[in-house]
Amino acid sequence: MTILTDVLVLGSLLLSVLLTIQSAYTLYLMLYTWDRPEAYQKAKAPAQFLAAQKSFTIMLPARHEEDVIQSTIERVVRANYPRHLLEVVVICKTDDQGTIGKAEEKIAQLSTEGLDNVRVLTFSNQPTNKPHGLNVGLASTNYEVVTIFDSEDDIHPDIFNVINTVMLQEGVNVVQSGVQLMNYESNWYSTLNVLEYFFWFKSRLHYHARVGMTPLGGNTVFFARSVLERAGGWDENNLTEDADVGIRISSMGEPVRVVYDDRYVTREETPPTLDHFIRQRTRWSQGFLQTLMKREWARLPNFEQRLLAIYTLAFPSIQAVLGLYLMVSLATMFTIKTPVLVAITLSLPLYLLLAHLLLSIIGLYEFADAHRLKPSWKTPLVMMLTYLPYQWVLSYASVRASIRELRGINNWEKTAHVGAHRLEPQPVGGAAGAKA
Amino acid sequence: MAWKTQMDRLLVVLSLATGAITHGYNLFNYPLYVTDEGIYIQQAWSVLREARLSPYTYFYDHAPAGWLVIASWVAILPSQFQTFGSAIDTGRALMLVVHIVSTFLLYRVTARLSGSTAAAVIAAFFFNVSPLAIFYQRQLLLDNLMVMWVLVSLYLATSGSDWRRGDMRIMAAILSGLTFGVAVLTKENAIFFAPVIGYLLLRRLQGRMNYRFSVGFWSFSAVSIVSLYFLYATLKNELFPSGFSFDLNNPPADHVSLLYTIWWQLHRSQGSILNTSSPVWQFSLGAWLPKDTFILIAGAGAALVSLTIGVLSRGRRLEGVIVSALALSYGIYLARGSQMLEFYVVPLLPFLAMNIGLVGGWVLSRVPALLRPVPVLALMGVFVFNPAWGYVLVVDQFGHVVPHDLYKLNQTGMQTEQLQWIRQNIPPDAKLIIDDDMWADLHDQKPYYKWAHSHYKAASDPDVRDKLFGKDWRNIDYIVMSNKMRDAMLLNNADGGETWILQALDHSQSVWSVEHGDVKLEIDRVQK
């Protein structure tokens, strides 16, 4: 019994130290941009735009997006950029007649206004997933810069001016611009989910770009066509084709420029239900695991990049341990009689957990300021209560992902979109009132 | 610009060298080893030799960061406690290092806040040569370590391109918070600097990109470090007193308690500045002013000038508010009259020097830049060479100009002789009542005098008083008297704890003694 206790204590001690280091490192990555005044300046979009020069292929991969596809097309074609430099393709599988119908309806409507730079591209073979659609799109288009938007994305009208300017001014071939979930007070997990995006795009990704190992996002990412062609397009067997292509491009030595300017972010929504949220997170975790096992990161030129790649890709799997460990650590601290110094070491991850909670709460106000929102006084309280359950949900999703991967299940669990981020406040005495 | 940087480096090096000389020369000889030095080195001894915070029951009288640092210092030395002579000498060598580090930090912080090299040079000068500062800063005191941590925290809090408005790294804010937490755990009264550093951060970062993160994480870091102390007590089941009883007339008997000790400390007033017999007056008139009138009067005056100019300038001279607040906030702590010891003036000194530097810098800014060294050097020359100021040279009773006691007197030699006499004439198994100053030497070097205990512990610690001595004067073999130890015993005898030791003293006969000036040491054998 004592040997068992000793092993437990020793194991917990080791885990505590590792966890503290890991947690402190993550904390640093999340604070990176705010910590470095020069990085903060660099993250901003250019203050003045150069004349439009680059041409853009905009791919809108969609599946069962009848509800939102029309407004997405609308936003893209109405961007502040010369129409002849934009080529928009909606990419669907042939069996998704609903989305195809809605898209074509919109195209017909636009053509009456003389807007004819949008078309639908279809494919019928397997697999039925986003990377497959993107490869089809890549092969059938020819503008200079290729970009992707998801059907639920609200893009900023000036986004192409931003990218055109950055690419011309800095001579970069790959630009990732910010994506931001917006509905931060929709449900119990939305605040923390919104903040994950905020910290990822506003801070952490800049660190990745500096190191030269950038797992890209799934949309609002801009590639010079030549780079994508050299990389061989997207991996159709990978559930996070975006991160994967980012790592492959990084290993080609191609620098990635990250722009997060609160004004120009692409707005998205959190998954509408917990179930969808878990499915989305499972897909990401599993995709990261696949990318890790694929070992493309091994071709990254230097050690720091490879280490960061392993850390980033393995993180969702580590997360499974984190959620559970905290309870073990607390239990060990107060139930098993250990020397005081051991007990204090066991408590260190708890301090880091509090630091992360503080980070999120401050992040809420930074996010709200950036987007001129006013959080309710209840929101930080809710965050405190939901912080641990949220971590447990992430742990659950990553365990689920590992099991799926082990059992060879690789289908795309789609996330539903209801357009919660597009719900604008209704004017006082709205339409209904006027009719009455 | 290059020559300016070179000149600045040269001035830093000269300041550090001055500090090394004034503090290092005669360091091991003067002043006399005192009880508190002995206690801290004894507790560091316990950390290294017993993996405990004190050889006796640790009752949270002070947070332990200070002697953990002392223990770390001793641990890396080749001959451990004996590296520099006696155990306290080894601790004093650390104080020299601490002073040099503190001088560097004081120089830089003053230069940043004032924007004036002259201010930094003046501040460092007074910090280095003030006899009052040297007297206490040579001693192995927690306050000296605390001052260094506060200065590190300030150094980090003023980092970045422009301390007034410029951006600051969050990492600097976190480190500043952590070091401030360590300062509090070194000596709790560091807490009185918290509002000033907090105000500094708020003012400089308001409206900056990482305002919330920096201020938030500064506070979090500081609180986290301090909370470790409470966590320690919780884990030992010593946070609350037994039965949650905070009755000051009935101290909890079965175990010590951190919160009870804090409660007790908060109620330990010895009279505020309004009471003319309080220690504030006693020490300032009796001990501090005679050692260095200038730094106290000029420093206090400069703090008032800085404050007035800072407030009237409506933010343009924010440094005036900050620098004066550093001195005044601690001054208020002293004046409000809590429990006080002579060396409590230590944390005030760097900030008095800083205020003198700041005001000096303002005055000198009206002098053409090339001429500025003239008045600064003249000022220094007066203090160093004019015996009327009593800084380095003094006039002795015969009217001769001689160096200050700090640089010529050997007082600890008498204590060394006393220790040698014990080793040569008293068997190691004798039961001794001593003062803490020689505790570590008697317990760390063979033969060990394991039954040598200080009169404080013999008066109050049940393990020593009752179990070892049975509270009977006949069980004492020798009493080793440090300077004015009888007075200290009488002062400590409010509850009658020392009575049985005083009885032993009445039944004893002096077997060794030495007297020089106002110092008298004795060894008495108890006649049974």
**ipTM of the assembly?**
0.87
CB contact under 8 A, A35 and B171: yes
Total domains in the fold of chain B: 2
Model confidence at B147: pLDDT above 90: yes
Enumerate residues 6+ apart whose C-beta is below 8 A from B259. Answer: B233, B239, B240, B241, B246
Q: How many angstroms separate the CA of residue A148 from the nearest CA in chain B?
A: 31
Q: Is residue B327 part of a domain?
A: yes
Enumerate residues 6+ apart whose C-beta is below 8 A from B301. Answer: none
CB contact at 8 A, B258 and B59: no
Q: Could you give the CA distance from residue B355 to residue B106 in angstroms, rounded to a whole number? A: 11
Q: Could you give the CA distance from residue B78 to residue B74 in angstroms, rounded to a whole number? A: 8
CB contact at 8 A, A153 and A88: no
Please check whether residues B145 and B265 belong to one and the same domain. Answer: yes
pLDDT score at A428: 35
Model confidence at B408: pLDDT above 50: yes
3-state SS assignment for residue B162: coil
pLDDT score at A432: 33
Q: How many angstroms separate the CA of residue B265 from the nearest CA in chain A?
A: 25
A40 touches chain B (CB under 8 A): yes
pLDDT band at B388 (very low <50, low <70, confident <90, very high): confident
CB contact at 8 A, B125 and B17: no
Q: How many CA atoms lie within 13 A of B24 on its CB side?
A: 13
Q: For an interface test with A, give the residue of B210, B224, B227 to mutate (most A CBs within 10 A).
A: B210
Q: Is residue B401 part of a domain?
A: no
Q: Could you give the CA distance from residue B359 to residue B491 in angstroms, rounded to a whole number? A: 42
CB contact at 8 A, B411 and B32: yes
Q: Is residue B282 part of a domain?
A: yes
Tokens of A370: 């950036």
Q: Specify which of A339-343, B234-238, B348-352 reaches the highest per-range mean pLDDT.
A: B348-352
Which residues of chain A does B220 touch, with a Cβ-Cβ cutoff of 8 Å?
A: 354-355, 358
CB contact under 8 A, A36 and B236: no
C-alpha distances in Å from residue A371, one per residue of A374, A375, A418 = 9, 11, 21
Q: Could you give the CA distance from residue B215 to residue B172 in angstroms, rounded to a whole number? A: 11
Q: Is residue B407 part of a domain?
A: no
Q: Could you give the CA distance from residue B472 to residue B196 in angstroms, rounded to a whole number? A: 51
Which residues of chain A does B228 touch, with a Cβ-Cβ cutoff of 8 Å?
A: 344
Please check whether residues B439 and B324 belong to one and the same domain. Answer: no
Q: For an interface test with A, give the residue of B52, B218, B235 to mutate (most A CBs within 10 A).
A: B235
CB contact under 8 A, A358 and B217: yes
Bridge partners (DSSP) listed for residue A122: A92
CB contact under 8 A, B170 and A351: no
Please check whether residues B379 and B424 belong to one and the same domain. Answer: no
Where among B364, B394, B424 does a domain terminate? B394
Please check whether residues B390 and B419 belong to one and the same domain. Answer: no
A43 touches chain B (CB under 8 A): no
pLDDT score at A427: 36
Model confidence at B374: pLDDT above 50: yes
Q: Could you give the CA distance from residue A278 to residue A260 in angstroms, rounded to a whole number? A: 27
Q: What's the CA dihedral at B70, B76, B81, B82 to 10 degrees?
A: -140
Contacting A residues, span 368-397, partner chain B, CB-CB under 8 Å? none
CB contact under 8 A, B220 and A343: no
Bridge partners (DSSP) listed for residue B478: B432, B525
Residues in chain B: 528
pLDDT score at A435: 31
Tokens of B119: 């201010």
pLDDT score at A426: 36
Which residues of chain B does A202 touch, with a Cβ-Cβ cutoff of 8 Å?
A: none
Q: Which domain holds residue B236?
A: 2-244+254-394
Q: How many CA atoms lie within 13 A of B145 on its CB side?
A: 27
Contacting A residues, span 305-334, partner chain B, CB-CB under 8 Å? 333
Q: Could you give the CA distance from residue A391 to residue A184 in angstroms, rounded to a whole number? A: 17
> CA nearest A345 in B: which residue?
B228
Higher pLDDT, A66 or B93: B93
Q: How many angstroms separate the CA of residue A75 from the nearest CA in chain B?
A: 31
CB contact at 8 A, B429 and B451: yes
Where among B394, B422, B454 does a domain terminate? B394
B210 touches chain A (CB under 8 A): yes
> Alpha carbon A82 to chain centroid distance?
29
3-state SS assignment for residue B496: coil
Instruction: Tell me which long-range contacts B513-517 makes (C-beta under 8 A, separation of at least 24).
Output: B514/B414, B514/B417, B514/B418, B516/B411, B516/B414
Which spans in B237-367 are helix H? 258-266, 279-283, 289-291, 293-312, 318-335, 349-364
CB contact at 8 A, A120 and A104: yes
B237 touches chain A (CB under 8 A): no
CB contact at 8 A, A165 and A259: no
> Alpha carbon B203 to chain centroid distance?
30
Q: How many angstroms separate the CA of residue B237 from the nearest CA in chain A?
A: 11
Which residues of chain A does B210 touch, with a Cβ-Cβ cutoff of 8 Å?
A: 34-35, 40
The 10s digit of each residue's pLDDT in B270-287 is 666 666 666 666 666 667
Q: Could you give the CA distance from residue A378 to residue B386 in angstroms, rounded to a whole number? A: 68
B265 touches chain A (CB under 8 A): no
Where among B394, B428, B460 does a domain terminate? B394
> CA nearest A338 in B: which residue?
B235
Nearest Cα residue to A415 out of A240, A243, A269: A269
Q: Is residue B342 part of a domain?
A: yes
CB contact under 8 A, A359 and B169: no
Q: How many angstroms separate the CA of residue A362 from the nearest CA in chain B?
A: 7
Tell me the average pLDDT across B188-215.
92
pLDDT score at A436: 27
Low-confidence ranges of chain A (pLDDT < 70): 1, 323, 329, 333, 412-436
Which residues of chain B does A343 touch, with a Cβ-Cβ cutoff of 8 Å?
A: 235
Longest dimension (CA), chain A: 81
Enumerate residues 6+ apart whose C-beta is below 8 A from A293. Answer: none
Q: Could you give the CA distance from residue B354 to residue B106 in angstroms, rounded to a whole number? A: 8
For residue B301, report the phi and psi dihedrals to the nearest 5 degrees.
-60, -45
The residue behind tokens 């089809």 is: A136
Which residues of chain A does B216 touch, with a Cβ-Cβ cutoff of 8 Å?
A: 358, 362
Confidence (pTM): 0.90
Q: How many angstroms separate the CA of residue A402 from the nearest CA in chain B?
A: 35
Q: What's the CA dihedral at A78, A82, A84, A86 to 10 degrees?
A: -60
Q: Could you give the CA distance from residue B434 to residue B438 in angstroms, rounded to a whole number? A: 8
* pLDDT > 70 fraction of chain B, expressed in percent and rounded: 95
Residues in chain A: 436
A427 touches chain B (CB under 8 A): no
Q: Specify which of A18-22, B89-93, B453-457, B491-495 reaches the highest per-range mean pLDDT.
A: B89-93
Q: Is residue B90 part of a domain?
A: yes
The terminus-to-terminus CA distance of chain A in angstroms comes to 77
The 10 Å Cβ neighbour count of residue B257 is: 25
Q: Is residue B258 part of a domain?
A: yes
Which residues of chain B does A366 touch, with a Cβ-Cβ cutoff of 8 Å?
A: 212-213
Instruction: Tell me which long-range contacts A197-202 makes (C-beta under 8 A, separation of at least 24).
Output: A197/A268, A198/A363, A198/A366, A198/A367, A199/A30, A199/A359, A199/A363, A201/A176, A201/A258, A201/A260, A201/A265, A202/A33, A202/A43, A202/A178, A202/A260
pLDDT score at B256: 80
Q: Which helix (H) or strand (E) holds B520?
A: strand B519-526
CB contact under 8 A, A366 and B170: no
CB contact at 8 A, B190 and B180: yes
Please check whether residues B281 and B361 belong to one and the same domain. Answer: yes
Nearest Cα residue to A38 out of B169, B215, B218, B162: B169
CB contact under 8 A, B213 and A31: yes
Q: How many angstroms separate the CA of residue A43 from the nearest CA in chain B?
A: 13
Q: Specify which of B182-186, B259-263, B449-453 reaches the highest per-range mean pLDDT.
A: B182-186
CB contact under 8 A, A362 and B212: yes
Enumerate residues 6+ apart whose C-beta is below 8 A from B144. Answer: B95, B98, B99, B102, B136, B137, B346
Please check whether residues B372 and B488 belong to one and the same domain. Answer: no
Q: CA Rg, chain B, in Å?
A: 24
Q: Could you give the CA distance from residue A109 to residue B4 in angstroms, rounded to a whole number? A: 71
3-state SS assignment for residue A86: strand
Please check whether residues B325 and B434 belong to one and the same domain. Answer: no
Q: For an interface test with B, give the residue of A20, A33, A34, A356 to mutate (most B CBs within 10 A).
A: A34
> CA nearest B223 in A: which residue?
A351
Tokens of A198: 């905020």
Please check whether residues B457 and B517 belong to one and the same domain. Answer: yes
pLDDT band at B106 (very low <50, low <70, confident <90, very high): very high
CB contact under 8 A, A358 and B216: yes
Model confidence at B481: pLDDT above 70: yes
Nearest Cα residue to A176 out of A243, A111, A131, A110: A243
3-state SS assignment for residue A120: strand
> CA nearest A352 in B: which residue?
B224
Please check whether residues B68 and B158 belong to one and the same domain. Answer: yes
Contacting B residues, span 174-203, partner chain A, CB-CB under 8 Å? none
Q: How many angstroms separate the CA of residue B177 from the nearest CA in chain A?
A: 13
Q: How many angstroms separate the CA of residue A72 from the nearest CA in chain B?
A: 33
Model confidence at B488: pLDDT above 80: yes
Nearest Cα residue to B500 out of B460, B463, B451: B460
Q: At what angle do helices A378-406 and A303-335 cross, to 10 degrees?
A: 110
Q: CA Rg, chain A, in Å?
A: 23
A350 touches chain B (CB under 8 A): no
Longest dimension (CA), chain B: 78
Higher pLDDT, A216 or B387: A216
Please check whether residues B170 and B87 belong to one and the same domain. Answer: yes
pLDDT score at B272: 62
The 10s digit of each residue's pLDDT in B164-176 is 888 899 999 999 9
Q: What's the CATH fold of domain A1-421?
A: Spore Coat Polysaccharide Biosynthesis Protein SpsA; Chain A (3.90.550)
> CA nearest A40 in B: which residue?
B209
pLDDT score at B274: 62
Nearest Cα residue to B178 out of B150, B137, B136, B159: B150
Model confidence at B291: pLDDT above 80: no
Enumerate residues 6+ apart whose C-beta is below 8 A from A164. Answer: A49, A50, A52, A53, A54, A81
Nearest to A340 among B213, B224, B236 (CB): B236
The 10 Å Cβ neighbour count of residue A301 is: 13
CB contact under 8 A, B231 and A347: yes
Q: Could you give the CA distance from residue A279 to residue A415 in angstroms, rounded to a whole number? A: 7
CB contact under 8 A, B217 and A365: no
Which residues of chain B does A354 touch, with a Cβ-Cβ cutoff of 8 Å?
A: 220, 224
B169 touches chain A (CB under 8 A): yes
Model confidence at B227: pLDDT above 80: yes
> CA nearest B209 in A: which residue?
A34
Q: How many angstroms separate the CA of residue B82 from the nearest CA in chain A?
A: 28
Q: Which helix (H) or strand (E) holds B248?
A: none
Tokens of A163: 């990218």
Q: Which helix (H) or strand (E) holds A199?
A: helix A190-199
